Amino acid sequence: MDKDTRLKLAVQKSGRLTDPSLDILARCGLKLSRGKDQLMGFGENMPLDVLFVRDDDIPDLVQEDVCDLGLVGLNVIEEKRLALAARGVQANFDSLRKLDFGRCRLSIAMPEGTNYEDAGSLAGKRIATTYPHLLGQFLAHHGVEAQIVTLSGAVEIAPRLGRADAICDLVSTGSTLAANHLVEVETVLESHAVLIRTPIALAPVKNAWVERLLMRIDGVQQVKESKYIMLHAPRAALPEIRRLLPGSESPTIIPLEGHPDRVAIHAVCRENVFWETLEGLKAAGASALLVLPVEKMLA
Ligand code: ATP
Ligand code: ZN
């Protein structure tokens, strides 16, 4: 019975995606109570339960219809998609939303001082990775024949151990590469977290909650950078002020009692408002500037 009414969402149990995943769910209004085993989180105020698993298992859980939804890196999904295709199986998950966390890239890196011109320089090399399918696709696309050394972890030390001439691994800041005296030479995939769902039709109640969740996610992602800005300005400076307001559509313009040549302007800016912007607005004649965070937004 539950299976027909409560959504099941897979989230990484412990890793880089865990906190941001729980954070976005909380911002969407979900109150979770976690059971003793910590494997399941029960949604107290939404018919949505969270299953905590290893990130690599998330596509499978959605593929096998154990979970309706999953929060996972694009890198994991795309590797899985290719792995399934190699076995002649069609991937059974749809990407619903690109999320603004878990940003990283799958890159090829080589020891410092290696001569590198273009992908052709990888010909005949041994490349260590935990992403053999994505790497294979990249090499095939560039018509390069190289040896893929599939490892289950600690890829960055493979060159020093003499097991590989290059690596293909996830990079965010590049500090791990630098610590291992490796330099990035190619980007195979730009990645971020995504919300995936089973393409199997869900019961109408569940579908309605998926739609609601998506709307809330969109709201949450929009407000992150958004600010509400209020200021006073000379009427004559309106065009200049509007040009300076970052990412605002139609500001509200309010007359100021006793000041026919000045107005109050209220606007939602869909980008962060920096000091430089405020200084520019002030130089254009604005005064009484106030920038407020936006808590929720529903278009
Ligand atoms: P698990 O035990 O769940 O298998 P893991 O070691 O595979 O954990 P993490 O290192 O926590 O996973 O990374 C999870 C995801 O976070 C990656 O698949 C990727 O989408 C994203 N990510 C973001 N930045 C990085 C980074 N610098 N290195 C690795 N992954 C990153
Ligand atoms: Zn993993």
For 227-293, CATH number?
3.30.70.120
Q: What is the pLDDT of residue 250?
A: 85
Distance from residue 174's CA to the centre of ligand 2 (Å): 19
Please give the structure tokens belonging to residue 65: 């219809």
Check whether 171 has a pLDDT greater than 80. Answer: yes
Domain ranges, ordered by start, for the chain:
3-102+193-222, 104-190, 227-293
Residue 150 has pLDDT above 90, yes or no: yes
Atom 8 in ligand 1: residue holding the nearest Cα: 15
Atom 22 (ligand 1) nearest CA:
102
Cα separation, 121 vs 119, in Å, equals 5
- The mean pLDDT of 129-156, rounded to a whole number, is 97
Among 15, 11, 51, CA closest to 170: 15
> Is pLDDT of 17 > 60?
yes
Two domains, one topology: 3-102+193-222 and 227-293: no
- Looking at residues 269-284, what average pLDDT do you find? 91
Q: What is the pLDDT of residue 36?
A: 63
Pairwise CA distance, residues 80 & 51, whole Å: 19
Span 229-253, pLDDT tens digits: 999 999 999 999 999 997 777 899 9
The partner residues of 70 in beta bridges, in order of sequence, read: 10, 196
Whether residue 72 has its Cβ less than 6 Å from ligand 1: no
pLDDT category, 270, cuts 50, 70, 90?
A: confident
Whether 215 has a pLDDT exceeding 70, the answer reads: yes
- For the Cβ of 59 lying below 6 angstroms from any atom of ligand 1, the answer is no
167, 128 contact by CB (below 8 A)? yes
What is the fold of 104-190?
D-Maltodextrin-Binding Protein; domain 2 (3.40.190)
Q: What is the mean pLDDT of the chain?
A: 94
Residues 6+ apart with CB under 8 A from 143: none
- Give CA 97 to chain center in angstroms: 9
Please give the average per-residue pLDDT across 256-283, as a whole number. Answer: 92
Helix (H, G, I), strand (E, B) or coil at 161: coil
- C-alpha span between 11 and 17 (Å, rounded): 8
- Residue 1 vs residue 103, higher pLDDT: 103
Q: Ligand 1 in contact with 170 (CB < 6 A)?
A: yes
- CA triplet 44, 59, 132: central angle to 5 degrees? 150
Which atom of ligand 1 is least distant from the CA of 75? 20
Q: Long-range contact list for 245-250, CB < 8 A, 24+ apart?
A: 245/269, 245/277, 245/281, 246/270, 246/271, 246/272, 246/273, 246/277, 247/271
pLDDT for residue 2: 54
Domain topology for 3-102+193-222 = D-Maltodextrin-Binding Protein; domain 2 (3.40.190)
